[in-house]
Structures are given as C-alpha cells and as structure tokens.
Amino acid sequence: MKRFLYKAYCFFYAAANWRKRRFTRAGVLVLVILAISAGLGLDTRQSTIYQVFAFVLPLLAVSMVCSVFFRARFTVTRKLPKFATVGETLTYSIEIHNRTAKKQKGLYFNENLEDSRPSFDEFIRAREPGEEKRNAWDRNVMYHRWMWLIYRDLKATVKEHPVPALSPNGKGHANVDVIPLHRGYLELTGFTVFRPDPLGLFKSFFTVLNHQCILVLPKRYTLPKVNLPGMRKHHPGGVALASSIGNSDEFVSLRDYRPGDSMRQIHWKSWAKAGKLIIKEFQDEFFVRHALILDTFQQRPHSRIFEEAVSVAASFVSNMQTHESLLDLMFMGTRAYCFSSGRGLSNTDRMMEVLACVQHCNHKPFSDLLPMLINHAPLLSGCVCILLSWDEERKKMIKTLQSLNVPLVVIVITDDAGPGSGQGQDQDTGHMKGDQKNFHVLTVDNIEEGLAGL
C-alpha cells in the first residue's frame, strides 16, 4: 500500500509539473471549462452546454498541433555571483544564443532545478514534525508527509522571464530572479526556453542542459551592538597566527630557519645576503579571541530549531568585528571542528561557507565536544554558546567552561513560547543563575525580537 501511495504521489506530482510546463494560464482555464462542460453536457437532450465542449476542444487541439512546428536550438550561459542568501532574491544575468538561421521572438524561459521528489525509502522513514498529532487517516495516507518532503527538498522558487527578440544566430541578454529557500548548494540543472502558440493556450519548449551550482548562505538577523565578555589573553607564538595589529609588530631578533617555520616570517634581505633562509622573531602576542559554539546535537535530521540556530550563528559571524580579534567557530560533525577567522587567518566568508553546509550530529554523544573546549579554554577571552535545548548535558558543559573562568553568553533556541522565553527570567538557568543577563532563550517565531534584547 505504501509503495502504491508513493508511486501515485510521484505520478500526480509529475502530471502537475507537466501541466504547469505545457499550459499557459489561459490554457488552464480552457482545461477547466473543458472538464466542466464535458461533465455537465453528457445528456445532450437536456442541456446545450455540450456546445461549449464542442467549441473549446478544437481550440485546444489546434494549439497543441501548432506547438509541433516550433523548431529551435539555443545555448545559454549564466553569470552567477559567488553566494546567495536564504530568503533574499538572487538576481543574475544570462546570455541566450540563437543557434538557428531564423529570427526568434515571443520567447520565455525559466530555470530548471533538481527534482525535489524524495526516494521511496526517504518517504517511508521520514517523519513530518507534529505528524503524531494528526488523525489516523492522515497518518496512513501520508499526504501531508509527502508535501512536507517536497517543500523541504525544494531549494528555490523560480518564475518565467521574457526573452528579447533574437536575430538569426544572434545573442540576447536577460535577468533571472531566484529566491533560495534553504541553505546549502543550489543545483541549477538547465533552462527551458518556450513559446506559446498563436492562441496563447499551449507551450512548445526547448530544454537547454547547463548544470551549475551556487552556495546559499544561511539567513542572517540584525544584531545590536553586543559587548562580549572577557579580556585579551596571552597566545604563545601568537604572531604566527595574527596580522600586524596590536602588539604583533615589535621585532625581536633574526635566526636561522627551522623546519616548520612560517614562510611569512622569512627576512628576505638577510636571505639575499647570507644565501640561506633567515627568520624574523617577534614577541608573543596578547589579543582577544572569542569562541562561537554551535550545538549540532539532535536526533531529527531536519528541524526548524536547528536551522534557526545556524542563522543565529551566522548573524554573530557576520556582525563580529574580527579585524582586531580572532573568532573560533566550534561544532561537532563527523568529528569536532574548529574554524578560526580574523587577524589575517581567514575572512568571514569562509566561516559563512562552513555554516551553509553544517549538518546535525546524531551519532555522537554531546560529551565528545568537551575535550576541544577544554583545550581551547585557556586562550579564550569569551564564548558565545548557541544551544538547541537546555538539558543536563548542556548545563554540565556550561559548568565546565565556568570552572575554567571563561566568560559566557548562552543562547537557547526553542519552539516553546513559555513564560520568560524571551530572556529566560522564569527558566531554570542552571549554573547561569548568577549571570542571567548573559542567558537568553529565543523562540523560533521571535528570533529577531529576542536578538534585539541581547
């Protein structure tokens, strides 16, 4: 039964896409009229509505026959930007080359995206959020699950765009508007160039294969000016990790090259005179270094809480001033990861790319993140923790960081709009009880409002 339902949903999904691809809005209206008149005009002796059917059917048949005579060949190239952002319109230009010796006009086109239909195994194993609250019919028919999976895997929304008239073997330019719906890589598989028939009911089209992808960054929120806790810390050999800001420009001495020395420390003039590698030595560095801990531990493969947590982390990354400090992004994936940016190490674009592709972790215990945090704690001026829940394991992590004298800002993302959810006054703050001003609980429906209160 489940396999039958899956094949039926796939068939009707493909049929709906075929209808959208082949019929114009006027054509859809004609189809509706055709169906209604066919149903009501079965008895020709009691109703004359069958005459509408007899008039509309030939119109549709003529339109479909006219589409057969559309013969064209095109090539299309895109000029994609480096990144896109969830929820923001992505606009880019394309160049369409008419490969025929005939002038082409009245054309339209749209982008083709990868198929968003789930596999059978995914359809069976997935669980729509809140599915257990639906009635027995909905749970057994699984239509709502199907629609949820379709929307979840639909990466963007696109619309039709007109094409300027193309001269024989000529080229034309047009702009494309795409709205990404989810972070990660957006796969663009090609274009459909089409032209309505003279009656404007049916479309004939030509498919151009052109596979490209663009990275979609997480949605970002506007943050107020956040004064993160902590002070500058001593980093032995820190100049190898930082640019010439603060105390890093004081020269100490020259010495011979040793294996493992950074190429940035070579003293080129001395190398030219001595004929061997000479290295510059600098004093140790004192600077600010913050950590941004992203909680990725959850059992469900997809959840709104996790996506909002990634968006909050991206908001901090894009708003933090890292030209005078270091920012470490820490999270658990297949292993514990730490990515650093600021002071010449890397720019925030690299960290945003990481956040665009970060996935949940459901195969490791939360405690696996603690060793990395403990190792980095002596170097950290402060830490921002973005958590998916507030349970005993996470409270234990907060207690461990507090015992290492790391100043903290704790943000818990939840879908429970209970009392005190905005700032956590009525929540069990655990070991943050004495520092409630740095403990915040944000609900998924009021993230931006909650961040405004930081």
- For residue 306, CA distances in Å to 63, 222, 301, 389 come to 49, 19, 9, 10
Q: How far apart are CA 120 and CA 139, in angstroms?
A: 16
Number of other residues whose CB lies within 10 A of the CB of residue 48: 9
Is residue 379 within 8 Å of 242, Cβ to Cβ?
no
Q: What tokens were used for 98?
A: 């008419």
Mean pLDDT to the nearest integer, 296-306? 84
Q: How far apart are CA 21 and CA 67, in angstroms?
A: 13
pLDDT, mean over the chain: 83
What is the percent of the chain with per-residue pLDDT over 90, rounded to a whole number? Answer: 35
Number of other residues whose CB lies within 10 A of the CB of residue 366: 19
> Number of helices (H) and strands (E), helices first, in the chain?
12, 18
Q: How far apart are CA 384 and CA 229, in angstroms?
A: 9
Pick the CATH number of 288-452 from 3.30.450.40, 3.40.50.410, 3.30.930.10, 3.40.50.920: 3.40.50.410
**pLDDT value at position 245?**
39
- 3-state SS class at 451: helix
Distance of CA 287 to the CA centre of its chain: 33
Is residue 290 within 8 Å of 325, Cβ to Cβ?
yes
Is the model's pLDDT at 399 over the cut of 50? yes
- For residue 279, CA distances in Å to 238, 267, 311, 448 come to 16, 6, 43, 49
CATH fold group of domain 2-116+154-217: Immunoglobulin-like (2.60.40)
**pLDDT value at position 258?**
79
**pLDDT value at position 293?**
92
The count of residues in the chain is 454
Is the model's pLDDT at 303 over the cut of 60? yes
What letter would DSSP give residue 117?
P
Question: 161-163 and 107-113: which strand pairing?
Answer: antiparallel
Q: How far apart are the first and last CA of the chain?
A: 52
**Which residue is listed with tokens 């993230």?**
447
Banded pLDDT at 229 (limits 50, 70, 90) = low
**What's the number of CA atoms in the CB half-sphere (13 Å) around residue 424?**
27
The 10s digit of each residue's pLDDT in 116-152 is 899 999 999 888 888 888 999 988 999 999 999 998 8
Mean pLDDT to the nearest integer, 198-202? 90
Banded pLDDT at 295 (limits 50, 70, 90) = very high
Is residue 443 within 8 Å of 416, Cβ to Cβ?
yes
**pLDDT value at position 242?**
45
Question: Where is pLDDT greater, at 416 or 81?
Answer: 81
Question: 285-294 and 382-387: which strand pairing?
Answer: parallel
**pLDDT value at position 247?**
41
Domain positions in the chain: 2-116+154-217, 248-282, 288-452
Is the model's pLDDT at 230 over the cut of 50? yes
**pLDDT value at position 8?**
94
Sign of CA dihedral 370, 372, 375, 380: negative
Q: How far apart are CA 121 and CA 144, in angstroms?
A: 16
